[in-house]
Every structure is written in C-alpha cells, then in structure tokens.
Amino acid sequence: MLSHKKIEMILLINPKTTKPSEFQSEYFREPNLGLLYLSSVLDRNGIDVDILDLEQYFTLSKEDLEQILKELSLKYHIFGITCLTNTYEISISLARLIKKNNPDAIIVFGGPHVSFLYNKILQVESVIDYICVGEAEKSFLQLSKLLIGYSLNKNSNYKDFTRKLQLIPGLAYRESHGKVFFTGNPEVVDLEALSLPARYKLSQDNYYYRVANVIVNRGCPNECSFCSRQNFFQDVRIRSIGSILAEIREIIALQNYEYINFYDNININKKFFHEFCNIFTENQIIIPWGCELRVDAIQREDAKLLKEAGCQLIATGIESASQDVLKINFKYQEPELVLKGLKHLKSQGIAVQCYFVLGLPGETKATFQKTIDYIKNLPLDQEDKLEYFAATPYPGSKLWKNREEYQIRIIETDFSKYDCQHIIFETPDLNFQQLNDMFKTAKELENYHGTE
C-alpha cells in the first residue's frame, strides 16, 4: 500500500548493456535520449531528478555496482528504469536490488519491451509498481506529480489516489486485488511542445564517443516485420526546422560534443529533407554530423546537398538483396535503387554504414548468397562499414505477433540474447546450424571489409 512518506527525489536509470556476443568486440556508448527528454520535462515542472547512466560505469565490478545502487536506493524515492528487450533481465535485477535496500521505493519501468508485454510482466514481477506504455513524457510526469502530491498531503486518501491514477493515459499497474489495469493508449506527444533534452545532466567523460543524438521525427511510415517502432510511437511526427536548429546550437554551446547523429530516416519527407540540409549552409553551422536515411530515395542532387551541408556519414538499412525476402517482410525497397543511391553518395565522398539482416522469413541459402554477392559489388571503400544482424522477433514487431503466420520457431527465450547478434528462431527453410554458419560467414565478410 502506498504510504504518505515524503517523496522528493527521482532517479532515472539506464541499465548497463549486456556483454557482447562472440561476434562483437566493442560497444557504441552514447547518452540515453529518452531519459534526457524525461529529465527535461520533470526539471521544467520543478521536480528534482537525476540520471544514472550505467553505460558510464562499464568497467565496474558487480560488487561495486551493487554498492553504488545501495547508496542511491536510500537517497531517492521514485526510480524510473528504461529497458530494451536485451536489457530487461538486467533492469529487473536493478529493481530487485533497489527494493531490497529500500522497500518503500517506487519502481516505474518504461521502454519498448515492457510497453508491449506490460500485462504479462506485471503479473510476474512484483518489484515493478508501474509501467509507462509508449511515449512517457506525459504519463511519467503526471504519475510523478500524483505520487509527490499524495506523499505531501496527509489528508489525501488512497481511493482518491487510485481514481486519479486511472485518469493518466498510457499507464499500467496492479490494482489492490492484483489484477493488471491499463488506462489506455498514451497521448501522442507534441514534439514542438517538448523542451530540449537535458544533456547537462550527463557527463560525457566516460563515453567512447562524444556523440549527441538528435531525433528529427518520431514514428515510422514503414512496416518492416522486424521493427516495433511504428507501433511504439503511433503517429508519424516531424519536428520543425526551428526546433532542430535550436538543439544544434545548444549542443555546440556545450562544447564537449564532437559529432551529431540525426535519426530516424531524415528523408521520409523530401521537402523537410532539403530544409534540414539547408540548416547547416544557411546558418554557417560547422560540426561533423551523420544521419539515418533511406538510400533508395537519394538522387544525385540530394547527395550533393548532403555534402554541402557537411554530412560525413549516412547509415541505411538494406537488409537483403532478395526482392522476395524484402516483400515478405514489408520492406518496400528495391536493391537496384539502393545501389544507385549509394553510388550518388560515394560520388560525393560521403561514408556509408550499411545494415543487413540474416534469417528473415523467406531467407534461403540462395537468397543469402545473392545478398553476399550483392555486397561484394557495392561501391564501398575503406571508410565505409558493413553490419550484419540476426533477425530478432522483438515484442511489438510483426515477427513477434505473427510468428505462427511466418512459421518461425523460436529456439531462444533468453531475452539478454535478443541483441541481433544471436540466432533466435528457425524458419521452415533454415535450421539453427545453417543460420549460425551463415551468420559466421556474414560476420567474416563484415570483418574483412572493415580491415581493407
């Protein structure tokens, strides 16, 4: 039962990433943008909040980490923990440790994994008090205000608290009798109304790269089977050029950032894409930057515009060279147009990072070989990078929801291995051993290219 014990401080936690698989040799560490947005919203509303990004402490032993959490467990009152599928088990361990040291602690989970599995998770994990489903800027703020208000008002009653709790969209929790209650889909966040991410909350000292991540949109117009983004963010929204420009200037003013990464797919709207590139030329902004985009839509003039704007790197999902595999998995993209787009980018000297996915429904030995041959003919040089990922059925994706329809058989249930570096399922055409052998071949090609 919730008590009237005074609530003041909130700690947002980004879990430490699981250890690399046998195929990975390094991490890419960066601040968690979701937590920075949450922190900014809370700050703006006068709520004391700090961030613990455990990626900054990747060298700590388990004992040292537990000691840090023990001390923090007694300092803070509400703990917001974000988690992906592969960090879920770690996140649960953190929550248990916090509750062990502070039974009165209020644990709130958020992120894609728990958003799609909130009902099952709340039935089995008593350490979680609340789950913010989907975009959490509004729901977490409302929940925090309600919890703080209840703790400060000795005259407030629990019945009134629960009534107000039910009015917060996007919240899941257990009622007093144990049944899971979901208040309904969260409100779609107006990106223009959001304050800029609270980057001042994090030190960059312990990151391998001093990279600022900037979102230019939320939501996705695509329907790829292996992605849950379109379901997590609901509607597609694109930020205004003025808002993005303000964030770029703030990042530069902080002085410790050396690079900006813009995502997702900055060219989902042609007019916006051109206006975005003009930000840099028209305002004489000079800072290295890269972005994610659909390369099949890139024309010669687009590549030239990116170069003039100072773009140094683009990342793009090619996935497969088989049109049949792409079609089955709702990736509406033509390999030949991708090749043309890459040629346009390379003619301007822009580095590219190409992503491929192994083992999607429809994949066979023949389609895999076709993709390998396609990769060998791409116009890439030593500054470019290939990355091959194993198809992974993330909760919320079509692969997860429609696995029977796709006839995939999940053979790995350890969520810590849902990192795109492990074979998670078999298909009617390929068993585990075949997929694993193919993945090793793909990684050898990836590593060979990286040493050219």
**Whole-angstrom Cα distance, residue 198 to residue 11?**
14
Residues 356, 387: contact at Cβ < 8 Å?
Answer: yes
Omega of the bond leading into 104 within 30 degrees of 0 (cis): no
Topology given in CATH for the domain delimited by 210-450: TIM Barrel (3.20.20)
DSSP notation for 267-327: TSSHHHHHHHHHHHHHTT----EEEE--GGG--HHHHHHHHHTTEEEEEEEEE-S-HHHHH
Q: By the 8 A CB rule, do 338 and 372 touch? A: no
**How many residues in the chain?**
452
Could you count the other beta carbons within 10 Å of the beta carbon of residue 176? 9
Residue spans per domain, the chain? 10-182, 210-450
pLDDT of residue 21: 43
Give the separation between CA 36 and CA 202, rounded to whole angstroms.
Answer: 9
Question: What's the pLDDT at 26?
Answer: 47
Q: How far is Cα 369 from Cα 94, in angstroms, rounded to an integer?
A: 43
pLDDT tens per residue across all 452 residues of the chain: 455 455 668 999 999 764 544 444 444 556 688 999 999 999 999 999 999 988 777 677 888 888 989 999 999 999 999 999 999 999 999 999 999 999 999 999 999 999 999 999 999 999 999 999 999 999 999 999 999 988 766 667 888 899 999 999 999 999 988 899 999 999 999 999 999 999 988 766 666 558 899 999 999 999 999 999 989 998 899 999 999 999 999 999 988 888 999 988 999 999 999 999 999 999 999 999 999 999 999 999 999 999 999 999 999 999 999 999 999 999 999 999 999 999 999 999 999 999 999 999 999 999 999 999 999 999 999 999 999 999 999 999 999 999 999 999 999 999 999 999 999 999 999 999 999 999 999 999 987 665 55
257 in Cβ contact with 211 (< 8 Å): yes
Phi then psi dihedrals of residue 60, to 5 deg? -70, 145
Which pTM value belongs to this model? 0.92
Q: What type of residue sits at position 168?
A: I
CATH tag for 10-182 (out of 3.10.20.30, 3.20.20.70, 3.40.50.280, 3.20.20.80): 3.40.50.280
CB contact at 8 A, 34 and 111: yes
Looking at residue 225, what is its pLDDT? Answer: 97
SS3 category, 171: strand
- Amino acid, res. 209: Y
Q: How far apart are CA 54 and CA 69, in angstroms?
A: 10
* Nearest CA among 10, 61, 52 for reference residue 31: 52
- The 8-class DSSP code of residue 388 comes to E
Among all chains, which residue has been given the structure tokens 């964030």?
Answer: 247
Instruction: Calculate the alpha carbon distances from 292 to 118, 323, 329, 429 in Å.
Output: 30, 22, 20, 32
Please choose, from the candidates 120, 145, 131, 65, the residue with its C-alpha nearest in 3D space to the C-alpha of residue 98: 65
pLDDT per position as a tens digit, 19-60:
544 444 444 556 688 999 999 999 999 999 999 988 777 677
Contact 224, 391 (CB under 8 A): no
As a whole number of angstroms, the distance between CA 428 and CA 398 comes to 17
The sheet carrying 49-53 orders its strands as: 49-53, 10-14, 78-82, 106-110, 130-132, 171-174, 180-182
Q: C-alpha 203: how far from its chain's center?
A: 20
83/125 Cα distance (integer angstroms) = 14
How much is the pLDDT for 446?
A: 87
